[in-house]
Amino acid sequence: MSDSTTETIIVVGASSFIAQAFINQAISEKEHDLPLTIISVSRQSSLIPPAMTRPTLADNMTQNVTHHHVSCDYQQASISTCIAEMSSMVGTITKIIICNGILHSKTTNETTDNENTGTTHLMPEKRIEDINSDALQQLFYANSIVPMLWLSALTELLLQQPHKIDNPKCVISILSARVGSISDNRLGGWYGYRASKAALNMLIKTTAVEYARRLKRVKLIAFHPGTTDTPLSKPFQANVPAGKLFTPEFVASQLYNIMVNIEPNGEASYLDWQGKEISW
């Protein structure tokens, strides 16, 4: 185990635009004289695929920041291997974000942590006749199962952390979506994406019940980033109202501030980018 005085941030799905912006935000917010370790996880062997044009982590690296990148195919055995590899890297874990997810496969020239890697063409269903079993399985695996596999595996690392009442909190944010709210579903459609995010929300909420007994200093957040200018939202941006298409940098800043200011209370929170509660 590395020095417990070193703050550690874990970013899963690190090739996504929001994840990259969050890493840069964390570095810019770092207290100058305190060491910070960032552990990023993605399918890629390096942090950013060459096709992406956003600033690399190396461009923003400052003194006392250490970066470790871990490759993962997001199968359960591979996730367990990643956790074993991380165990020698972590200090005091203060923040974890999990950014995996898919919505469509309209863009197929790149493969990132947020895109479809199967063979079934994915687009949100407009009517019930559009439902396809292969598409549903892909959506549930990426949006519900993979984040839960990570939560399950990360529990081992979290249990290794000191458990004194005055220890630093650890906040875990998983990218969800407002359309996963069961009570807020007024438009219908998007069956698979809605259902997979609703399932994710239930998994997060259930995990929080267990963590209230076992990991009292851990806070879980299901986070709705709003419509963000990323490949995931690209086919749907034409209908976004003016001022409601956010940059990844804005979303990352909002999320980072939420994670800094929120306190563990034994419950999961379902929050939007403003920090406002969403009905489960």
Closest CA to 240 of 251, 225, 228, 252: 228
Residue at 265 is within a domain: yes
C-alpha separations of 121 from 211, 237, 238 in Å: 37, 20, 21
What pLDDT shows up at residue 5? 73
Q: What is the DSSP string of the chain?
A: ---TTSEEEEEESTTSHHHHHHHHHHHHHS-TTS-EEEEEEESSSSSS-TT--SPPHHHH--TTEEEEEEE----HHHHHHHHHHHTTT-SEEEEEEE----S--S--S---TTS--SSS-----SSGGG--HHHHHHHHIIIIIHHHHHHHHHHHHHHTS---TTSPPEEEEEE--GGG-STT--S---HHHHHHHHHHHHHHHHHHHHHHHH-TTEEEEEEE--SBSSTTTGGGGGGSPTT--B-HHHHHHHHHHHHHH----SS-EEEETTS-B---
Tokens of 264: 């563990």
Q: What is the span of the domain harbouring residue 200? A: 7-272
Residue at 2 is within a domain: no
Instruction: Show pLDDT as tens, one digit a residue, over the chain (280 residues).
Output: 456 678 999 999 999 999 999 999 999 998 767 899 999 999 987 664 333 344 455 454 556 899 999 999 999 999 999 999 999 999 999 999 999 999 888 643 333 455 444 556 889 999 999 999 999 999 999 999 999 999 999 999 999 987 666 678 999 999 999 999 999 998 999 999 999 999 999 999 999 999 999 999 999 999 999 888 776 666 666 676 667 778 999 999 999 999 999 999 999 999 999 999 999 9
Q: Residues 86, 84, 148, CA angle at the centre, nearest 5°? A: 85
What pLDDT shows up at residue 165? 62
Residues 20 and 14 sit within 8 Å (Cβ to Cβ): yes
The pTM assigned to this predicted structure is 0.87
- Helix crossing, 191-214 with 133-140: angle to 10°? 30
Residue at 279 is within a domain: no
What pLDDT shows up at residue 120? 66
What pLDDT shows up at residue 113? 59
What pLDDT shows up at residue 46? 65
What pLDDT shows up at residue 156? 93
The CATH code of the domain that includes 76 is: 3.40.50.720
Specify the number of domains making up the chain: 1
Residue at 278 is within a domain: no
Residue at 40 is within a domain: yes
